[in-house]
Every structure is written in C-alpha cells, then in structure tokens.
Amino acid sequence: MSGPLNRLLEHVLEGEPEVGDEVDAIFRRAARLRRRRTQAVLLAGVGTAGLIVALGYLLTATLLNSPPATVSTGTADVVAATPPPLPSEAPAPARDGVLAVVEPLVKGRQLEIVPASERRGDGWREYGVADAQGRSRGTIQVAVFDVRKNWCFPVAADPDACARTDHAGGMEYVRYDDVSDADRQVRQTIARRIDGRRALAVLAAGAQNAGAQRGKPALTGAQVEQVATDERVLDAFGKAENCDDGCPAFATPVEGD
Amino acid sequence: MSGDNDTALREFVTSRLPQLRRSAFLMCGDWKMAAELTRATLARLVADSRRGVVADPDVYAYADLMEACRRRNRRREHVFVASPGAAGVEAESILLLDALHKLTPRCRAVLVLRHWDGFDAEAAGAMLDLNEDQIAAYERAGLAALEKLLGESEAAMAG
C-alpha cells in the first residue's frame, strides 16, 4: 500500500495554507528561547550561589559558636560541660543572660556581636564586635568578682584611695572611661549592689591601633554604665562564679578577696 | 551543521519547513496547530544548533515534532480542521485523515515518516527511538488497520 498511501496522502494536503514569513518568525522565536535559557541558567547560578552562602553561614555560625567546653568552678574543682549551641542561623538572643542585655545595645549602633568570637570562663564573658563590613570594632568584657565586705571602688591614680560612687536603683557604680589615647579607647564601669559582696566590671574597648573612628568602643560610656547597673547581668552569672583565675585584663583592675 | 553557521541554518529551515508542517498536519489534522508545532520545533532546532548540540538536524527535527504531536494529541479526540481559506476538502481525504487518526500515535508516526516523508526504517527508528523490527511491526499493523478502516468507510458510503 506504500505507493497508493503516498498518493492518497497528497490529496489530503490540498488546501495547505501559505508558508508566509514563518522562517523569520522561527529565528525570532529561537532568539527568545536562547534569552530565556540564558536567564534561567543565570537565575539558577545565582540561586545556587545564594544557597551555598546561606549554608556556609549556617554551618559556620553553628560550628564556631561553640564556647570553650569547660568552666572551672575553682574551689569545688568541678568541671562542667556547657550545653551545645542551638543549631540556629540567627544568634539566639537568650543563650546567655549577659548577651541578652549587651546585644540589643550593640545592634542599636549598627554593630554586631561576632558569634565566633564569644569566649567565656569562670566569672567572665567576652564578645568581639564588628561593623557591617565585618571589620573589628573591639571587644566587650563583662566579669564578676567576689569582694570583701569593706571593699571600695578603686581609684586608678591612688591604690589606697576609694572612689566616690554614683547610684542607679539598688546599684552603686563608678565609671572609668579613658578615650584620651585614640589607639586604645576604653569605657569601663564597675558596679555592685549596695554593700553587696560581688562587683561587676563591664568594659568596652575599641579596636586598638585602628584610628580614632574604628578605635571607638562599641558601647558609649552611658551604655557601659547601663549594662553594669542592670541587675540581670549580675544575676546572669552563677553564684559560684568568680573571675579570679584566667580572668581577662581590665583597664581598671578589680581587686577581689 | 556548525552552531554559528546561520546561513546554513536558515537554508535548512527554509527547505524543511513545508515538509515538516505537512507531516505535522498528518499527525494532528489541524493546519494551525501543525504550523505552531513546526515553528516551535524549528526554533528549538535553531537554538540548540547554535549551541552545537545537534548531531543530525533531520533526526532532531522529526523526533521533536513527532513527540510534540504525540503530546498534543494525548487525551484529545481528533477533529479535522481545514485551512481557513481552503476550498472544499474531498470526502475521501476526510475519510483517510479520519482513518489515520484512529491509529495509535506511534503507528501513525511510523506511517507518516515511512510513507509520506520517505525515511527508511533505520532513520524512522532513530526519530521515534525504536529499533527496525519495531518499526516494521508498527508499519505492518498500521497499514493493515488503515486498509481495513478505509474499506469499512467506503462500504458505509456506498451503502
């Protein structure tokens, strides 16, 4: 039937419409198709890159967020493992009580606590701060000290003198700001509950030798004072914690017991 | 065919367009749809040829077109649609198209490629992803069914 079928089919095709300018239309359509494919490839590339960056950030934040594994309680000689960080992309605001107070103030100045820089030990916490471009803006240190009943606030220039205190709520405090050296600007406040046996030191130090602007501490003097006189910060430390061993250096040291 | 050889591509498209469109019409029975499917097939052929991924443009074009017709006809009852400005179509032609569309799409594609486009069994197999034995089997079954359907239609008309 091959021969006859071919001839029969010829008749079926009678009335075929004109081809017209379909060749040009085909080439225009091919060009559109090529553009769409290029856009799809680019979008897929951008999406993949974004996914890789997000996963990288998540993984980095999760892995590097881990604080040192041990906290020595000093006299009791007990070693306690701190709980692992939550696997969350954003820093958990309430993962420690000190950070819960400090972090909003830092963010309010368009700065960030660098999760990987967080360090802690017996009676102390330390947080690295960076600006939006990721450049270091120094550190914030918070520490608690057991002090004698007749302890008084130090005077930098005279080891035997006692500083006059200011009061905020149930706290008394003294500010020790020193921004005279552009390459080492620090703002520090020492506070304690009135007649309490624990002193809290809060220090914000700018990036050292980075110029006057980047050398500015991440918190203002008033904010450092605010953190130091916030009783939640003092309460965020365990009752047995005392920064007497391996404690970070403060611009104005606190002599404890 | 080189991907950046637009002249050769244009010549190919110009020479194959009418025949591809006729084959599409035999597959789908609608000149408008046949023209659209042929345009889409040739546009893909041009785009892919420019990327240098087309080994044999004839195999690519017919394979793509037959697959497009098969997808378009899925779950659809065939309705013959003549060209808008066409004169009256003979009753025999309608009967033949009707019989052709009572075949399975693959059977119809084998008959169109072998008996209208004139490809050998090997080329038709490459276009439909079938081996030569399968092409031969579809062809035999298709011709037999078509002959039977046409016989029944003619008898009905005579009666």
Give B98-149 pLDDT, tens digit per residue.
888 888 889 999 999 999 999 999 999 999 999 999 999 999 999 999 888 8
CATH of B6-158, one of 3.30.360.10, 1.10.10.920, 3.40.50.720, 1.20.140.160: 1.20.140.160
pLDDT confidence bin for B83, thresholds 50/70/90: low
b/e burial code for range A134-164 (CB count within 10 A of at least 16 → b): eebbbbbbbbbbbbeeebebbeeeeeeeebe
Residues paired with residue A126 on neighbouring β-strands, in sequence order: A119, A141
Beta-sheet pairing, A70-72 with A171-175: unpaired
Does domain A92-236 fall into CATH 3.10.450? no
What are the residue boundaries of the structural domains of chain A, listed by start?
92-236
Average of per-residue pLDDT across B24-38: 91
| The pLDDT of residue A74 | 42
pLDDT confidence bin for A21, thresholds 50/70/90: confident
pLDDT confidence bin for A115, thresholds 50/70/90: confident
Q: Taking CB atoms and an 8 Å limit, are A13 and B31 in contact across chains? A: no
pLDDT confidence bin for B157, thresholds 50/70/90: low
| The pLDDT of residue A95 | 65
Give the lowest-confidence range in A222-236, B1-15, B30-44, B125-139. Answer: B1-15
Average of per-residue pLDDT across B55-84: 76
- Which is nearest to A178 in space by CA: A186, A166, A170? A186
Average of per-residue pLDDT across A104-116: 90
| The pLDDT of residue B132 | 93
Average of per-residue pLDDT across A162-180: 89
Give A30-54 pLDDT, tens digit per residue.
999 989 989 999 999 999 999 999 9
Q: Taking CB atoms and an 8 Å limit, are B96 and A8 in contact across chains? A: yes
pLDDT higher than 70, residue A252: yes
- Asked if A40 has any chain B CB less than 8 Å from its own CB, the reply is no
| The pLDDT of residue A76 | 42
pLDDT higher than 70, residue B2: no
Q: How many residues does chain A have?
A: 257
Give A130-165 pLDDT, tens digit per residue.
988 888 899 999 999 988 878 888 887 777 788 888
**C-alpha–C-alpha distance, residues A98 and A93, integer Å:** 10
| The pLDDT of residue A104 | 92
ipTM: 0.80
- Asked if B84 has any chain A CB less than 8 Å from its own CB, the reply is yes
The mean of the pLDDT values for chain A is 83
- Pick from A2, A9, A38, A39 the residue to mutate for testing the B interface (most B CBs within 10 Å): A9
Q: Which residues of A touch B42 (CB under 8 A)?
A: 26, 30
What are the residue boundaries of the structural domains of chain B, listed by start?
6-158
- Asked if B22 has any chain A CB less than 8 Å from its own CB, the reply is yes
| The pLDDT of residue B29 | 85
pLDDT higher than 70, residue A60: yes
Q: Taking CB atoms and an 8 Å limit, are A9 and B96 in contact across chains? A: yes
| The pLDDT of residue A155 | 86
Give A70-104 pLDDT, tens digit per residue.
444 444 444 444 445 454 444 444 468 899 999 99
The larger pLDDT score, comparing residue A211 to residue B76, is at A211
Q: Taking CB atoms and an 8 Å limit, are A23 and B22 in contact across chains? A: no
What distance in Å separates residue A26's CA from the closest CA in chain B? 5
- Pick from A14, A21, A26 the residue to mutate for testing the B interface (most B CBs within 10 Å): A26
DSSP states of B29-96 = SBHHHHHHHHHHHHHHHHHHHHTT--S-HHHHHHHHHHHHHHHHHTT-----B--TT--PPPHHHHHH
Give the lowest-confidence range in A4-8, A98-102, A164-168, A219-223. Answer: A4-8
Q: Which residues of A touch B3 (CB under 8 A)?
A: none
- Asked if B78 has any chain A CB less than 8 Å from its own CB, the reply is no
What is the reported pTM?
A: 0.49
**C-alpha–C-alpha distance, residues A41 and B28, integer Å:** 33
Q: Taking CB atoms and an 8 Å limit, are B43 and A6 in contact across chains? A: no
Half-sphere exposure of residue A158, counting CA atoms within 13 Å on the CB side?
Answer: 5
Burial-class residue B4 by CB neighbours within 10 Å (0-12, 13-18, 19+): exposed
| The pLDDT of residue A8 | 78
| The pLDDT of residue A116 | 85
The larger pLDDT score, comparing residue A117 to residue B84, is at A117
